[in-house]
Every structure is written in C-alpha cells, then in structure tokens.
Structure 1
Amino acid sequence: MPIKIPKLLPAREILEKENIFVMDDERANSQDIRPLNILILNLMPEKERTEAELLRLLGNSPLQINIMFLHMATHESKNVSKSHLEQFYTTFTNVKDRRFDGMIITGAPVEHFAFEEVDYWQELMEIMEWSKTNVTSTLHICWGAQAALYYHFGIDKFEIGQKCTGVFKHSILNSNVKLVRGFDEEFLAPHSRYTGNLKDHIHACENVILLAESDEAGPLLMISKDEKQIMITGHLEYEAGTLAEEYDRDTKKGGEAYMPKHYFPNDDPNEKPKHKWRAHAHLLFSNWLNYYVYQQTPYQWE
C-alpha cells in the first residue's frame, strides 16, 4: 500500500524510481479507507534527504499513510529553501489541536549543546508533552532519542570525545518485545553522533526497556514501558552513502574528521560502501507501524 505525500514533493520522484508506491492527494481521497496519519518533525539540516530516507521506510507497508511534515517555528533552517518549508511543512501551532496515529522526531546537529541551550528546546518540550495525549506512538531518532530520554525519563546524554560514526554490530537483549520481532540475534546499524547514553542509567529507569546494544556504540533501541515512546540512538534510516557524504563534508571543513568504522570496504574511503542494514531498517519501521501505531490507534479519535 502507498504513502500519501504532496504531489510536488521532491522525494516523490526519487521514491518512484525505486518502485516505492506513493500516492498523491487526489487519488488517496478517492479511496474509502482509514489511513494512518503520521507527523514527522524534521530537525535535520538537509531536510530533503531525510524526507526521502524516512518515506522510503514508511512506504514499505500494507497500510495507507498520510504524511505531514513539521518544522520548528522558533528556529531558522539554513540548509533548505524557505519556499520548500512553506510548500511542504507546517508548524506546531497549526497541528496542536489535532491528533495523530504516529509521530517521528528526527536527529539534529546540536549534540554539543546542553538541551536547555538549544534555541528551540522550549518549543520541542511543548511538542513532546503534547505527544503524550495526541499521538499514539512516537519514534525518536538519534538526538531526538536523547531528547526524549532526557525530557520523558530524566536520562541525560554525555560527551563521548571522539565521534561515534560507522556501522556497528548490535545484539538483541529482549526478543519478546514486538518492536524487534523477526530481528536476527545480531544485526548491523549505523551511528553518527558525538554524545551517548549510559547503559546503567537506562537500566536504572524503571520506565524504559533497553532492547538492543553494541559493545562499541552502546545502547541503540529503547522503548518505554507504556510503549508510547520508542528511542533509536542510531540512524537505521540512512542510505548506504550517507556516512560517506558526512565524512567528506567533515573532511572539507578542515577540522578533525573521523572515518566511519566498519563502513568503507578495506577501510578505504575511495571504495563504495555497501548497504548492510537495509532489511532490519525496513523491519523496524514495519513493526512500529503495525504493532505500535495501527494495532493501537483508535479508528476514530474522540
């Protein structure tokens, strides 16, 4: 089944070339079914790339999904055109009286700041508080996951010194939880961050369950006891070349650039990296949409 997106969204052409089933408003409105309404708060600087990465995973589902993109009113995005935001995005003021079946909060390049120092932190706290009653399940990614752990559960992040970047092996800690149903006992996932969360702090919180971790990269997947909040500290949505482009960008800046671990063939940045986590990325998003959104959300919100 398709995802419903605006007809002129640039990601549409990318997805159609990959045979991802997308549908515009006119065709979707002619179907007599109850689609899922998913709100995506996109905090990433390269918004069009993130749109395509997330829509690619959300589109691999038997469910029809309506997508709405959200950006922060209290922050000026510098890497996306104003016209793109005006055409395809809205702000929290315009959706706070609505209810959504699911929500995604992405990562953001603000890890070096304390949460309270981020210019849109107050707005983000308002959105996360609103999500408790207006969203069936929220999926948080990378810095978004750290923000959720801090706001909802009081678990702070810490500076790890050298950037954690690369593709790391992870182990499943609790295979009975539906989010990781069908996962291999060990699987690969990309990370790209300068901060982390301590496993001991997560275990000490009675309202959070740690589902997967890496000996090198630390905790990856967590879920709240009430199953409304899901946190992913890595980037399973990344495409094969995303880490390479980040490394090239950091290298060109002239500062210290960390080559992603276990990523380039033979550790040679001139060789093309392979996509080794795609299957588990699709499985994670499918499990989230099925078990935590579709199976839990009311057919009609009161």
Structure 2
Amino acid sequence: MFIQLNTMTLYLPHALPVAERLRQEGATVMTYVPQKWNELPVEPGKERLRILFLNLMPQKEVTELDIARMMLQTGLDVQLILMKLSGQTYKTTPMDHMQAFYTDFEDLDAGQFDGMIITGAPIEHIGFEEVRYWRQLCEVMEWAKSHVRSSLYICWGAQAGLYYHFGIPKYMLPSKMFGIYDQDVYDVALPLLQDMVPSFPMPLSRHTEVRATDFPKTGGLQIIAGSVDAGVAMAIAHNGREIFTVGHLEYEPNTLHNEYQRDLAKGLPIELPKNYYVDNQPEAGVRFQWEEAARCFYRNWLNHYC
C-alpha cells in the first residue's frame, strides 16, 4: 500500500466509501456535495486544484482508491471531481453508486479545471469507433483543450487520446504485456519526469500497443519514455496540455497478482507477470518497486502542469 502524505487535504464527494477508507489510513479527507462541486469555499491564502476524473474502469471503487491515493502523494490540496458520461450503463458498479458520487459531463462543461484523468478500459479488442461511448469521449477530449490545463490519459485512455488527437493507431500484441518493465527517460530535463531518471519501473497490463513509427515528426507530440522490450511508455503534447502513459503507476502492489489469479481461475492464457514477484515465485510475495516512481510522477504532474 502507498504511504500517505499528511501535508494536504483531499476533497471527495460526500459519503464516498473510499473517503472513509483513506481516513482510516491516516489521510486528511474532506467532502463536498457532488451537485455543488463548484461551491466549495477556498480558504484565503490556500490553493486547491480541481481535478476531473473520468473513470472508465469496470471496478470503479478500486480505481477511485488508486487515483485518490495518487492525489495524496503530492502535498497539494486537491478536489477530485468524479465525472461520468450520461446515458451509460454499468455491469460491475451499482447505478446508485454512479448517481450518488459521479457528475455528468454536461453538468461540468461550463467550468475550468486544473487537470483531468481519463483511465483505461478493458476494451482493447474493439476498434475505437465501435466503442459505445466513443462520440461522448471525443466530445470530452475536444472540450478539454479549452477547459483543462493538463489532461492525463492512462493505458487504453492513452491510446484513445493518441488516436483522437493525432490519428495514431493501436496494434494487437501476440500475447498480453504483463508485469513490471523498466522505462528509459528520453528527456531528462522534463519537469514531468523529475527524480525519475535515468529509468523507472512501471506496471503494464495490456493486449495492444502504439508504435513510435506512427508518431508525427511535427505537431507538438514527443515520446518521453519507453524501452526496447515494451515500446512507447509515455508521451507529452502541447507543453503538457496532454500527457499519455500506457502503464499503471497508480496500481497497488497486489493489482497484477489479482489479475493473474483471476485469469488463471477463468482458464485464460496468462503468463507469470514479468519482474513482479520476489524470485519470480508468487508465494514469495510482490516486489513493490514502482512506489517512488508513482509518487514522483503524480507530484510532478500536479505541481508543474496543473
């Protein structure tokens, strides 16, 4: 589990179960009424960032906790605003949860925000235009250009963002890229990767990839981290207005273990996650080697780009 920093306050929707969990871990968490997200008073002399969170993952509460913990690594006061796409249904999260804690994009689109996070989704095998909410997602990504200081796209979200903004396709991999991969930093002076040079470990769990050969030579898009084994890891565009990461620095130590056990139980083809278990033995436990990289990345993003 990530160690919480107690020098800041995180603001979450009122009665969100994750809030109480974080308090039990020692975090300072305050709440706000989702319908009145823009009425939260600001204390004189204190800055608070407004971060939108479009959670496309199936296990909403797990991802809520992951991202909330990342916000707690930064030392900054953050209001995390949970956003949803109107008219969508959810197989693994009760609709009551979504209605109580998430706000429709249409009820947010008049605001200005410091940051936005768009997560991945387990739909890599589907073409982008075939995704049922693709039109709505495109609307959000276009809107963000003028209403969000910096947007962070994660995993499938990064692939979707690269496709929408730059026309970069995704390709199916012969087998799932699964485990912890060291990523080389290509721009050591970039504030986003401060204290992460010359390389950093990052969890990967994906069936598709983007390729450096498809990246345009002009247009403001720069690959900033990657590796021979795993390809493109991170990219940045327009001085940080869009940031793309195909991995999951936000993952808790046991997330890949749980995925591995789930796929084994389902009889799906799955290999042992690479560079993950102590001595490559599941019974020996997990090597939680990306904690510091995750803390640095999210701290740098919020401090330098949001």
Please, what TM-score do these two structures have when normalized by structure 1? 0.92
Q: Which residue of 2 aligns with 1:62?
A: 75
Measured in 1, the distance between the counterparts of 2:103 and 2:168 equals 30
Of 207-216 and 262-271, deviating more is 262-271
Q: Which residue of 2 aligns with 1:124?
A: 137
Which structure 2 residues correspond to residues 18-57 of structure 1 after superposition, within 5 A?
18-25=25-32, 29=41, 31-32=43-44, 33-57=46-70
Report the alpha carbon displacement of residue 30 of structure 1 after superposing the two structures with TM. 7.1
* 2:187 aligned counterpart, secondary structure: coil
Q: Which residue of 1 aligns with 2:23?
A: 16
Return the match for 1:253 from 266, 269, 273.
Answer: 266
The letter for the 2-side match of 1:31 is E
Of 41-50 and 218-227, deviating more is 218-227
Does structure 1 conserve the Cα–Cα contact (< 8 Å) formed by 2:54 and 2:116? yes
Of 104-113 and 255-264, deviating more is 255-264
Structure 2 unmatched runs, 5+ = 1-7, 34-39
Report the alpha carbon displacement of residue 21 of structure 1 after superposing the two structures with TM. 2.7
Return the match for 2:153 from 137, 140, 154.
Answer: 140
Measured in 2, the distance between the counterparts of 1:57 and 1:282 equals 7
Measured in 1, the distance between the counterparts of 2:84 and 2:259 equals 22
Report the alpha carbon displacement of residue 177 of structure 1 after superposing the two structures with TM. 1.2
Measured in 2, the distance between the counterparts of 1:184 and 1:20 equals 29
Measured in 1, the distance between the counterparts of 2:180 and 2:150 equals 27
Which structure 2 residues correspond to residues 183-262 of structure 1 after superposition, within 5 A?
183-202=196-215, 204-262=217-275
Report the alpha carbon displacement of residue 204 of structure 1 after superposing the two structures with TM. 3.5
The letter for the 2-side match of 1:247 is Y
Q: Percent identity?
A: 38
Does structure 1 conserve the Cα–Cα contact (< 8 Å) formed by 2:155 and 2:247? yes
Does structure 2 conserve the Cα–Cα contact (< 8 Å) formed by 1:2 and 1:61? no
Give the 3 Å change call, closer, same or farther, for CA 31–25 of structure 1 in structure 2. Answer: farther
Q: Which residue of 1 aligns with 2:37?
A: none
Which structure 2 residues correspond to residues 89-168 of structure 1 after superposition, within 5 A?
89-168=102-181
Report the alpha carbon displacement of residue 219 of structure 1 after superposing the two structures with TM. 1.1
Of 45-54 and 253-262, deviating more is 253-262
Please, what TM-score do these two structures have when normalized by structure 2? 0.91
* 1:245 aligned counterpart, secondary structure: helix
Does structure 2 conserve the Cα–Cα contact (< 8 Å) formed by 1:172 and 1:211? yes
Measured in 1, the distance between the counterparts of 2:61 and 2:47 equals 27
* 1:102 aligned counterpart, secondary structure: strand
Of 269-278 and 172-181, deviating more is 269-278
Does structure 2 conserve the Cα–Cα contact (< 8 Å) formed by 1:155 and 1:201? yes
What are the superposed Cα offsets for residues 184-243 of structure 1, whole Å, 9 maximum, x if unpaired? 312111000000011222264542111111221111111003320000000000010000
Report the alpha carbon displacement of residue 74 of structure 1 after superposing the two structures with TM. 4.1
The letter for the 2-side match of 1:166 is G
Structure 1 unmatched runs, 5+ = 294-302
Does structure 2 conserve the Cα–Cα contact (< 8 Å) formed by 1:4 and 1:24? yes
Measured in 1, the distance between the counterparts of 2:239 and 2:63 equals 28
Does structure 2 conserve the Cα–Cα contact (< 8 Å) formed by 1:22 and 1:59? no
Does structure 2 conserve the Cα–Cα contact (< 8 Å) formed by 1:39 and 1:104? yes
The letter for the 2-side match of 1:16 is R
Measured in 2, the distance between the counterparts of 1:286 and 1:162 equals 33
Measured in 2, the distance between the counterparts of 1:30 and 1:130 equals 25
Does structure 2 conserve the Cα–Cα contact (< 8 Å) formed by 1:74 and 1:123? no
Measured in 1, the distance between the counterparts of 2:134 and 2:265 equals 30
Q: Which residue of 1 aligns with 2:9?
A: 2
Of 120-129 and 216-225, deviating more is 216-225
